[in-house]
Amino acid sequence: MDYGDGRRAAPVNRTSRWRRAQRQRLRLTRETLPLAWRQDADEVIAGRLVKHVPELRQQRFAFYWPMHGEPDLRAAAAHWVAAGAKAALPDTFPRQPLTFRPWTPDCPMRAGVWDIPVPDTMETVEPSVLLMPCLGYDIEGYRLGHGGGYYDRTLAAMRPRPLAIGVGYSHAVLPTIWPQAHDIPMDAVVTEKAFIWHCGFR
């Protein structure tokens, strides 16, 4: 693929191998971060989100149940809900866009795909802000996840598209993830060090 600005995408097979290697490296790095460091970083990330996206306190937002050392926003989400926001968590179905179910700190939960907790309800909602965990991310706002493509599928399907914000740690930045045709850039990325808008937003 020619990006039109002098760059060319790596071949798909080479990109897939490179991404697998990066995922393994980034996952191992993240899981070795000290718990106390992650807890402090997560508080900073939550503060940056409120500062740069104040509508989190007024609108429906979706976040994620953390796994494999992902930034943990559950305490922040509970605080935002107490302040009047509406929250949701994703429910996953194979090769489908994510479905979002309303969440409160005391709502019943069930085990979803990969035993990730999901609100135990059939009700679905459409968030206006989507907080997405990043295993890695690049300087143009493209996200490297676990490889299932769920968030790309979701962003491609949602109308209107929610404000898409990647959440990760600063060590996970890459020069590029070699985006392919199915990759959709995020509107912003937040880490413990910065909040970065992409795609001309704000």
* Angstrom distances, CA of residue 86 to CA of 62, 65, 83, 116: 9, 16, 9, 20
Q: Could you tell me which CATH number the domain at 12-197 has?
A: 3.40.50.10420
Residue 12's pLDDT is what? 66
Per-block mean pLDDT, blocks of 10 residues, the chain (202 long) = 46 84 95 96 97 89 95 96 96 92 97 92 96 95 90 93 96 93 93 86 45
Residue 6's pLDDT is what? 45
Q: At what angle do helices 74-82 and 35-52 cross, to 10 degrees?
A: 40
Q: What's the pTM?
A: 0.89
- 159 contacts: CB under 8 Å, gap ≥ 6: none
- Domain residue limits, the chain: 12-197
Residue 2's pLDDT is what? 42
Whole-number Å distance between alpha carbons of 24 and 177: 14
Give percent helix, percent strand, percent coil of the chain, each to the nearest 5: 30, 20, 45
Residue 3's pLDDT is what? 43
Whole-number Å distance between alpha carbons of 133 and 148: 13
